[in-house]
Amino acid sequence: MKLTKRVNEMQFSPIRRFNPMGKKAEAEGKKVYHLNIGQPDVETPECFMEAIRNYDSKVIAYAESQGIEPLRSAIVDYMKMYGMDYENEDIIVTMGGSEALTMTFLTILNPGEEVLVPEPFYTNYHTFAKCASGEVAPITTKVEDGYHYADRELIESSITDKTRAIVCLNPGNPTGNVLTKDEMKLICEIAKEHDLWILSDEVYREFAYDGREVTSFGMMKEYEDRIIIIDSVSKRFSACGARVGCAISKNKEFMQGMLKIAQGRLCIPTIDQVGATELFKLPKEYYAEVKAEYVGRRDAAYEELMKIPGVVCQKPGGAFYMTAKLPVDNVEDFLVYLLTEFEDKGETVMFAPAEGFYATPGLGKDEMRIAYVLNQTDMKRAVELIRLGLEAYLK
């Protein structure tokens, strides 16, 4: 018996691949600071739990395939807060942003066709594209240039006759890059000229710092027919386990394609949708509070990181990740050392090696991604452990 070429070509998530080693270190009594996964420790707003506690039905029935109406209406109202004019029919609720991405690739890619994604990118895009027998074609960006990619020549030189979409992670994971409106306009113009979809992953929409505006491709009305937005409650509301996200588009044909797939998987969990509905009704102040918390975490982590000789890192403008070059040849070997040999006062730390966030072979070997998802004190200590570990490793 054989597996498909598709699945054989997939990778295990580099974010989760080292978990068994982390678990072993914990079983041996070490405290492990987890900077490897974007799982915030911020409390999920109480309104989610309250809605679920108040849920009272004799039967937990299937929901509509496109999502329950109160949730779709709440998302429409939330988008209005930023001046975007969507309707319920423009939204399909999915099992997190992850399912929205897989379904989108199944809808827009034939086998062998490509999506352009600025690298480094959220590593699971490899898997999402492969599910549709598609490929990720990278636009290579560099830490030294602040991961800038909104450049006509750079983007156009990567477009081939197999390209079907430009993907923007805005704000970016793992880069923290936040697009300006002018940059988004340029990307829209290029997409129009080459007849491409724009797939905008905006699961970190509000996490834009230092006076940067919250931007969304939903604001590019003139190009709305080619724009697909991916959203999720996971990060914005610290509700990763709720598994509720959505795809949003004004393109009716695309939405019909998505609906066929959505109907095939019937629906996503009804009760999580009930909780998520309340999250989208939270007032604007909620976002300001969460943003301030992440700015504090970022600054604490960055300050500590800058104490490490030989590190190359730009302070990220958004999301909650930092990618940094370390003065080692192979960051994976260093991580294994941290988890198996190193400890300081019974503690060690885990990050994600960045190689898996690139599509170009050989890139990212000396880079790590950290998620600044822990409180400031823990963030400082975790990055200090990277420094102490590095000192011991390089001896």
Binding segment toward ligand PLP, per CB under 6 A, in 91-99, 111-119, 132-140, 278-286: 91-99
Report the residue number, 186 or 240, with the smaller CB distance to ligand PLP.
240
Residue in the structure block whose two tokens are 């800038």: 148
Q: 10 Å Cβ neighbour count for 293?
A: 15
What are the two backbone dihedrals, phi and then psi, of residue 117, each rounded to the nearest 5 degrees?
-130, 125
What letter represents residue 361's amino acid? P
Report the residue number, 20 or 241, with the smaller CB distance to ligand PLP.
241
**Could you tell me the smallest distance in angstroms from the CB atom of residue 393 to ligand PLP?**
28
**Could you tell me the smallest distance in angstroms from the CB atom of residue 188 to ligand PLP?**
20
Q: Does 234 bind ligand PLP (CB under 6 A)?
A: yes
Say how far residue 359 (Cα) sits from the centre of its chain.
Answer: 16
Query: Which of these, 31, 25, 22, lies nearest to 344 by C-alpha position?
Result: 31
Sheet holding 135-140, edge to edge: 91-94, 245-249, 227-232, 197-201, 163-169, 114-119, 135-140
Among the listed residues 102, 232, 273, 314, the single contact to ligand PLP using CB under 6 A: 232
Q: Does 323 bind ligand PLP (CB under 6 A)?
A: no
**Could you tell me the smallest distance in angstroms from the CB atom of residue 200 to ligand PLP?**
11
**Could you tell me the smallest distance in angstroms from the CB atom of residue 165 to ligand PLP?**
15
Q: Does 275 bind ligand PLP (CB under 6 A)?
A: no
Q: Does 245 bind ligand PLP (CB under 6 A)?
A: yes
Tell me if the bond preceding 138 is cis, omega within 30° of 0. no
**Could you tell me the smallest distance in angstroms from the CB atom of residue 14 to ligand PLP?**
13
Q: Does 123 bind ligand PLP (CB under 6 A)?
A: no
Among the listed residues 18, 48, 86, 122, the single contact to ligand PLP using CB under 6 A: 122
Q: Does 378 bind ligand PLP (CB under 6 A)?
A: no
Q: Does 38 bind ligand PLP (CB under 6 A)?
A: yes
Draw the binding track, 187-216, toward ligand PLP (x: CB under 6 A; -: no contact).
--------------x-x-------------
Q: 10 Å Cβ neighbour count for 270?
A: 16
43, 31 in Cβ contact below 8 A?
Answer: no
Q: Two tokens at 7?
A: 């699945």
Among the listed residues 104, 141, 173, 215, the single contact to ligand PLP using CB under 6 A: 173
Among the listed residues 40, 67, 96, 120, the single contact to ligand PLP using CB under 6 A: 96
CA dist 182 and 186 (Å) reads: 6
Using CB under 6 A as the binding criterion, the count of chain residues that bind ligand PLP stands at: 13
Q: Does 131 bind ligand PLP (CB under 6 A)?
A: no
What letter represents residue 183's amino acid? E
Report the residue number, 122 or 217, with the smaller CB distance to ligand PLP.
122
**Residue number, nearest CB to ligand PLP:** 96
Residue in the structure block whose two tokens are 């936040």: 178
Kindly give the interhelix angle for 376-393 and 284-305, rounded to the nearest 10 degrees: 20
Report the residue number, 97 or 389, with the smaller CB distance to ligand PLP.
97
Q: Does 240 bind ligand PLP (CB under 6 A)?
A: yes
- The secondary structure of the chain in percent helix, strand, coil, rounded to multiples of 5, reads 40, 15, 40
**8-state DSSP, 43:** P
What are the two backbone dihedrals, phi and then psi, of residue 8, each rounded to the nearest 5 degrees?
-65, -30
**Could you tell me the smallest distance in angstroms from the CB atom of residue 154 to ligand PLP?**
21
Mark 341-364 as b/e (b = at least 16 C-beta within 10 Å): ebbeeebbbbbbbbbbbbbeeebb
Q: Does 97 bind ligand PLP (CB under 6 A)?
A: yes
Residue ranges binding ligand PLP (CB under 6 A): 38, 96-98, 122, 169, 173, 201, 203, 232, 234, 240, 245
